[in-house]
Structures are given as C-alpha cells and as structure tokens.
Chains A and B, each alone.
Chain A
Amino acid sequence: MLNWLTGKFKSDQDPHGFGQEFDDLMRGISGGLIFGMPLLYTMEVWYESLLFPSGVLMALFFFALILNVLFSYFAGLRENHSAKRLLYAVDDGVTSIGLSVVLAFLILWALNQIELSGNLRDTVAKVILEASVFSIGVTFTNYKFKKRAQSKQVRGPLESWKLLQTPEKKQLNKDLGDLLAASTGAFVYSFNVAPTEEILVIAASVSPLNLCLIVGMELVVCYIVLYASGLRNHVSFDEGSFFQKPLNEVLLTVSISVLVSVVLVRTIGFGELQFTDPNFIPAVVILGFPAVVGGAAGRLVV
C-alpha cells in the first residue's frame, strides 16, 4: 500500500493494475482540485444550482460528459493512455466524471454545504454543478502535469545548483526554494478567495467536527498532490534531510499554507475578523484548504 502511495510499485507486482489505477486517480484528484477549488468556494454556485430545473441539470451534466470524452480522446486521464480510440476516451471521460462527483460531494459535505439528512434534490444539484467543472480539471490538468513531469526529466534538476559545493548546501537551497514556492502558491491561489463572504459564511456554520475533518482533508490533499499523484519529479541532494521525509514535507507545506491563510484572513478577509473573534480560527481553516492546494501546486512548479 505504501508503495502505491509513493508511486513506487513494479508492474509485475500489480497484475490487475490497482496500483497504477490508484496513481492515475490520485493524479486526477490533484488536477481537479487545482482547477476547480475556487468554484467550490462560490456561494452563487451553491444557491443558483437549487434553481436549475432538472432538465437543465441533465443537459449540463451530459455536456460535461461529452467534453470529458472529447478531452480524453486527445489527452486521456490515465498515464499510460496513448491510443486515440473512442472506447478509451469514453472510459477515461466517464471515470473523470465519476471521480469528480465523489470528490465534489466529499468537499461540499466537509464545508457543510450539503446535509446528508437534507433534500436529496438539492444535494444532487450542487454536486452536479461543481463536479461538471471539476471533471474538466481532472482530465485536462492531468495531461498538463504529465507533460510537465516529462519535460522536467529531460532538463534534469535545476542546473544552477551544480555550481554549489556540498550536497547539504544544495539541499538547503532546494528546501528554501520549496518553502518559497509553497508560500507563493498558497498566497496566489487563495488571494482571490480570501476577501469573499463565503469564507465567513462557511466558518460560521461548520461544527468543530467539520473543522477537524477539513484539517484532515488538507493533510491528505497535500500528500496526494505532492506524492501520491506522482506529479512531482522529486530531486533530493541529501537523503538524510529532515524536509525530504514525506510526512515532514506535508506538514511543512500545510503549516506554511495555513500561515498564509492567517495573514490573508487578518488583512483582506471579509468581516475584518480579529484574532480573538470566535470565527477567526474556523475562517483560517476554511481558507487553508485552497491555500494548501495552492501551496502544494506551487511546489510542483519549482
């Protein structure tokens, strides 16, 4: 299982392809989150979806399915996708939508925007609207990352680092670069979400249990984007470095992202929340989710 999570499994140990499939789905989740996260924090999407008649929702969902199949025909969700065949495209497109529905449901539920005991029609409407956009990210962004990882391998690690003398120094520079990338990614990605009313609306409505769930999701999502998706071409100069351990790297990225979230909530956040406000910590955790996605995505770029 651990091998699956780090993408280090051998094909002969995986005759039914569950390891590879897990990797592909994780990469899909990363792509979908990076592409569709801001939409999950948009109040108009939650509420307007309630007003759409079922016919419109069906048409929208069908349109998203067609778009995904078309994208999959050329790009493909799975890493080993190469053939331009309609059946393969249908397989990838359908899987993208299915994955997006599950993902949108889980996140909306954690953000307290759907109630398990509430109206099923409302839940379906919200999930379909969010998942339709999410699914495009699953298919499309996945393709972009795959290309990026390939081009990175050709170029190799940052060439300028060769000039530095010891592996420790090289590693220190790389760790600092990662830190900067995480904070920049978190800042850029969550900056446009921070001043919106949605953060306060969610913060005021979530229970402590929901907040714990969101913190857990932030850790898992960070791990998926950094490691499990296999998007990142990990370069390590010093294997003994504290920050090169998966758990430490995840904790560091989440901490930096949450710190960025604290600064944004306090400075440009809606409602001018003070540190002592009971909604301050919930707002930091809520904004922390897109910040973590941005922070982890930022590290992929470096």
Chain B
Amino acid sequence: MTPKFSAKKTAELVSFFLSSLIILGLFIYLGMDYVKNEDSPYLKIEIKVMRDQIRQTGEGHVIPVVILNRGDKTPTRATFRVTFSQNGAQEEVSSFYVEYLPKKKSKTVYLYRKSDPSGAGIEVTLENYQF
C-alpha cells in the first residue's frame, strides 16, 4: 500500500511550495518577456569616448570607450571603426570587435595609442553586427 500525498511532512511541503513559486515566477517572467519582445534586427548602439578618463600607462595612453546596447537583441559580434584625426585631417583608422554585446547592457573597450590623444579627434562608429 502506497502512502498518501497528504502524509508528507511539513518540511517537504515547504520545499515544494517554495520551488513551485520559483518555477512559476520564472515562467511568468519569461512569458511576459516573450509577449513584449519585438523581433527586430535593428540595434540602438550608443558609443561614448571617455576623453576625461584617458590615462598614460607606460609608453602609451589608454582611452576607455563605453559601448551601450539599447536595443532588444544581443549581437554575437559587433565591429567598430576608430578614427583618430588631428586638425581635421585623418591620422589613423583602425577597428575592433566586441563579442556578445548583451541587450540593455554596456561594455567598456580600452583603446591603446602611443602618442597623446588628448588633443586629437577620436571618433568611434558602429560598422556592422551579426546575430
């Protein structure tokens, strides 16, 4: 004869109740996210060159660049183009990429340059991305 479910002790019922709450909470959250999620391939990327935080390290200079993904999707890879200019003339062009730029989240990339970039123009633009 098998015992009845009601014979379970209080502790087991407490564990079951708390676990059910966790699972239900996760399903409700994911369900709401599923309903409101727009499957758009367009990203809203915000790029901030932190000129006030440029630091000299060793023989070079480090320039922090904050990249913020304000979109609703996470690209597996996003490529950025960096242009340094002096007195309006292009001095150097390079690029870098960021893997997994989570939606609604920022990542900081550190550019390295030998000459002092304080007086130079620094432009970072999004070149392409893929999901």
Q: Which residues of A line the B interface, CB within 8 A?
A: 15-18, 20-22, 25, 47, 50-51, 53-55, 57-58, 61-62, 65, 78, 83-85, 87-88, 91, 94-99, 101-102, 118-122, 124, 128
Contact = CB atoms under 8 A, between A and B. Distances in A.
Contact of B31 (A58, A87, A102): A58
12 contacts: A17-B9, A21-B15, A50-B103, A53-B39, A54-B34, A55-B34, A58-B31, A94-B20, A95-B12, A98-B15, A119-B102, A120-B29
Given A16-B11, A88-B5, A57 B20 contact: no
Smallest CB-CB A-B distances: 8 pairs: A98-B19, A17-B9, A21-B11, A83-B2, A54-B34, A16-B10, A17-B11, A18-B11
Given A20-B9, A94-B23, 17 more contacts: A17-B9, A18-B11, A51-B100, A58-B30, A61-B23, A83-B3, A91-B12, A91-B16, A94-B16, A94-B20, A97-B19, A98-B15, A98-B20, A99-B15, A119-B102, A119-B103, A128-B26
Interface of B: 2-3, 5, 8-12, 14-16, 18-20, 22-23, 26-27, 29-31, 33-34, 37, 39, 74, 76, 99-100, 102-105, 131
A98 B5 contact: no
A98 B18 contact: yes
Contact of B23 (A20, A50, A98, A120): A98
B5 A91 contact: yes
A121 B15 contact: no
A58 B19 contact: no
A278 to B, nearest CB: 15
Nearest to B72: A121
Contact of B100 (A18, A50, A78, A97): A50
Contact of A58 (B3, B27, B104): B27
A17 B2 contact: no
B23 A17 contact: no
A17 B20 CA distance: 19
Nearest to A59: B30
Contacts of B100: 47, 50-51
A62 B102 CA distance: 24
Contacts of A87: 5
A54 B30 contact: yes
Nearest to B76: A51
A91 B20 CA distance: 9
Contacts of A97: 19, 22-23
- Interface centre among B23, B34, B76, B105, by most A CB within 10 Å? B23
B106 to A, nearest CB: 10
A248 B29 CA distance: 45
Contact of A101 (B12, B26, B103): B26
- Interface centre among A54, A85, A99, A124, by most B CB within 10 Å? A54
A96 B19 CA distance: 8
A50 B20 CA distance: 24
Nearest to A128: B26
A94 B10 CA distance: 16
A95 B9 contact: no
B24 to A, nearest CB: 10
